[in-house]
Chains A and B, each alone.
Chain A
Amino acid sequence: MQQIRRAWQLYALFAIPLLIIILFRYLPMYGAQIAFRDYRVAKGILASPWVGGKHFLKFFRSNAFGRVVGNTFGISLYALIASIPFPIILALCVNSTRRKGFRKTLQMVTYAPYFISTVVMAGIILQLLAPRTGLITQAIVGITGETNLNIMADSSVFKSVYVWSEVWQKTGFNSIIYIAILSSVDPSLHEAAVVDGASLLQRIRHIDFPALIPTAVILLILNCGQILNIGFEKVLLLQNSLNLQSSEIISTYVYKIGLASSALNFSYPSAIGLFSSAVGLVMIALVNWVASRLGEESLW
């Protein structure tokens, strides 16, 4: 108690950020109980009737369930897997480049797309893939001779468009951490390997590459926890009525029925959102448990 009183100045500093977190993070968690009620704005949260799992069941039984959950997992897993190797390759490439100037240029240029906003990124994608005039559309038409190619209207390639533009934008940024790890690898390991007659490639395979694995695992765990809440903004921006079949994900669906529609229905979309958050929590716990059982790095 005395300790707490002595630290009052620390608490004073801490009060503002704590208040923000409580008001805008924990209060919504409390408010998420409207997922179990028939929420009426006029009545308020506690006076709205309790209906248990009604909204959850409605979602599980709806036509949208399979499609929306499937798309969410599909896009996330695709992105997760596609985004693992490239930052590692880039980092190894940068680390093995001896010319300092080229090394700097390579880093500078590959980091740059990270700073492009999601809206602009979506704009770039739509411009490059525009029917007739888009750069990529023209290139594909030039090769295959296909006429009337409209890539964004083709729901079968939506996931690829999303994922590979993501790889283009984030690879440089994601390589930063790997590059830093490589530069901190004990040089005596390399010296010893050179004495033993190891080639450059062998040194990369047996010294540099293994040094990156623990971090790659941690990042994988972290990303698995985020698996259900990725990409709301970008998916929403790239969506159109023609690719909706494969582009509607949980968060965009929640947004549409909850906030973008005129019917004031908050309980049903809240239930879907809560379901998604809960699955995310289970996922991160599961992956972390598996990783720690395997003797690899763990988060806690």
Chain B
Amino acid sequence: MVTTLSRKDRLFTAFNAFVGICILVLVAYPLIFILSASFSNPSEVAAGHVRLWPVKPSLMGYRAVFEHQNVMKGFMNSGIYLVLGTLCSVTATLFAAYPLSRKDFPGRKFFTFLFTFTMIFSGGIIPTYLVVRSFGLVDTRAAMILPTMVGVWNVIVARTYFSTTIPGDLLDASRIDGASDFLFFFKIVLPLSGPIVAVLGLFYAVEYWNSFFNALLYLNEPDLFPLQLVLRNILLSSEIQQNELIMNVEEIAMRQGLHDLLKYALIVVSSVPVLAIYPFVQKHFVKGVMVGSLKG
């Protein structure tokens, strides 16, 4: 539909572009600032001289990050939780979603209710903690995965995908050929489920990478801490302990700057794995949000 724009419409188009640019700047500027700050010189950061681009570029912040023992350990732990957790969660979610998508699954309504009810009501933090503790899961890696392994929202997304993309005729046809439910699910449904597996994998991977809640509640052993918990301890510590009697003003500024620099570099390094894969999976991601919002 190509039409020449009236004067009014041209005015609106210009206004719209202006709004778009404002939003873009508001969202992008803090991100660019953090990136620039992380590459700047510590004393310039402490003095607040960084505005848009790095000032006196240096890699000191990143060196500090990679020399930090706890950070590296946190990266490793988070990697383990991400891989194992995503595997378990995607599998369990598909196993829950497929039966719920089958109209001939006895008890379908009841089980759907059982799952969705947990989205609007919960026993609370303390009783959940006591349950996890009574299973002996406190201070184990399993505590990072099992309690939140099945995301009910994701089950609904996957169920909707199955019931809208797997034709009922397919099931009837393979039944006539004598296929069991297992055979049908593993040989026919799963190979058709590439997109939903990608979506679930992405959702869960991001969730595990960013997860902080389980670690806060169930882990006391520093060797098991995921990156997010290590980050909290560094990012939220306000001032470094400094013996101001010994140090001169410049040195204090340098120390403070280095501490800030470490924080900026940490913010960048810890967010990069997720942000780097995101452009490639954006399409799947948007699709996933859409499937989940379908009613029914």
Q: Is A60 interfacial (CB 8 A cutoff)?
A: no
Which chain B residue shows the least CB distance to A240? B238
Most buried by B among A138, A177, A191: A177
B150 within 8 A of A: yes
Are B124's CB and A17's CB within 8 A?
no
B122 contacts A190, C-beta separation under 8 Å: no
Binds A, one of B1-9, B61-69, B192-200, B241-249: B1-9
When distances are taken between beta carbons in the complex, the residues of chain B under 8 Å from A96 are: 12-13, 16
User: Which residues of A are found within 8 Å of B295, using beta-carbon distances?
Assistant: 218
Query: Which residues does chain A contribute within 8 Å of B118, judged by CB atoms?
Result: 21, 25-26
Q: State which of A1-9, A74-82, A155-163 sits at the interface with chain B.
A: A1-9
Contacting residue for A118 out of B152, B210, B266, CB 8 A: B210
Which residues of the other chain, A, contact B290 by a CB distance below 8 angstroms? 176-177, 180
Name the A residues within 8 Å of B114 (CB-CB).
Answer: 18, 21, 26
A190 to B229, CA, bound (A): 51
**Is B144 positioned at the interface, with any CB of A under 8 Å from its CB?**
no
Q: How far is the CA of A255 from the CA of B218 in the complex (A)?
A: 12
Instruction: Tell me, in angstroms, the Cα distance from A110 to B31 when the chains sit together.
Output: 11
CA of A276 to CA of B122 in the docked complex: distance in angstroms?
10
Cβ of B39: which chain A residues have Cβ within 8 Å of it? none
Q: Flag if B235 contacts A277 (CB, 8 Å).
A: no
Q: How large is the interface on B (under 10, 10 to 19, 20 to 34, 35 or more residues)?
A: 35 or more
Q: Is A140 an interface residue when CB atoms closer than 8 A count as contact? A: no
Closest chain A residue to B118 by CB distance?
Answer: A25
Contact string against B for A residues 278-300, beta-carbon threshold 8 Å, 1 for contact and 0 otherwise: 10110010000000000000000
Contact B127 A34 (CB under 8 A): yes
Q: Are B23 and A106 in contact (CB under 8 A)?
A: yes
Asked if B168 CB lies within 8 Å of chain A CBs, one says no
Name B25's closest neighbour in chain A (CB-CB). A109
Tell me if B289 is interfacial: C-beta within 8 Å of chain A. yes
Chain A residue contacts of B45, Cβ below 8 A: 133
**B55 proximal to A (CB < 8 A):** no
Any B CB within 8 A of the CB of A88: no
- For the complex, is B46 an interface residue (Cβ under 8 Å from A)? yes
B48 part of interface (Cβ distance < 8 Å):
yes
Which residue on B lies nearest to A180, using beta carbons?
B290
Does the CB pair A97–B212 fall under 8 Å? Answer: no
Contact of A9 with B181 in the complex, beta carbons under 8 Å: yes
Chain B residues with CB under 8 Å of A200's CB are 5, 8-9, 12-13
From A98, which residue of chain B is reached at the shortest CB distance?
B13
Query: In the complex, A252 Cα to B76 Cα: how many Å?
Result: 29
Question: A23 in the interface, Cβ–Cβ < 8 Å?
Answer: yes
- Contact partner of A135 (CB less than 8 A), chosen from B33, B98, B231, B274, is B33
Residues of A contacting B275 with CB < 8 Å? 112, 115-116
Instruction: Given A14-B96, A233-B212, A277-B122, decide whether A172 and B27 contact each other with a Cβ distance below 8 A.
Output: yes
Q: Does B235 lie within 8 Å of A126, measured CB to CB? A: yes
A143 at the interface (CB under 8 A from B): no
The closest CB in chain B to the CB of A191 belongs to B1
Which residue of chain A lies nearest to B207 when distances are taken between CB atoms in the complex? A117
Would you call B92 an interface residue if the criterion is a C-beta within 8 Å of the partner chain's C-beta atoms? Answer: yes
Contact with A along B1-45 (1 / 0, CB 8 A): 101011011001100110110011011101101100000000001
Q: Which of A13, A21, A93, A119 contacts B212 (CB 8 A)?
A: A119
Q: Please, which residues of chain A bring their CB within 8 A of the CB of B285?
A: 111
Tell whether, in the assembled complex, residue A112 and residue B267 are in contact, meaning their CB atoms are under 8 Å apart. no
B286 at the interface (CB under 8 A from A): yes
Cβ of A259 under 8 Å from chain B: yes
Instruction: Identify the closest chain A residue to B185 (Cβ).
Output: A13
Asked if A210 is at the interface of the complex by the 8 Å CB criterion, the answer is no
CA distance in complex: A31, B133 (Å): 12
Whether B127 contacts A120 by the Cβ 8 Å rule is no
CB atoms of B147 and A24 under 8 A apart:
yes
Chain A: which residue is nearest B100 at the CB level? A14
Is the CB of B176 closer than 8 A to any CB of chain A?
Answer: no
Contacts A7-B104, A124-B34, A127-B267 given; 13 further ones with Cβ under 8 A?
A: A17-B93, A24-B131, A28-B123, A28-B128, A32-B127, A97-B16, A112-B278, A117-B209, A124-B30, A127-B263, A225-B120, A254-B125, A284-B120
Interface residues of chain B, those whose CB is within 8 Å of chain A, are 1, 3, 5-6, 8-9, 12-13, 16-17, 19-20, 23-24, 26-28, 30-31, 33-34, 45-48, 92-93, 95-96, 98-100, 102, 104-107, 111, 114-115, 118, 120-132, 135, 146-150, 152, 155, 180-182, 185, 206, 209-210, 212-213, 216-217, 228-229, 231-232, 235-236, 256, 260, 263-264, 266-267, 270-271, 274-275, 278-279, 282, 285-286, 289-290, 293, 295
Please name 9 pairs of A and B residues whose Cβ atoms are closer than 8 Å in the assembled complex, sorted by A. A10-B98, A14-B100, A17-B155, A21-B150, A119-B232, A122-B235, A201-B12, A270-B126, A284-B120
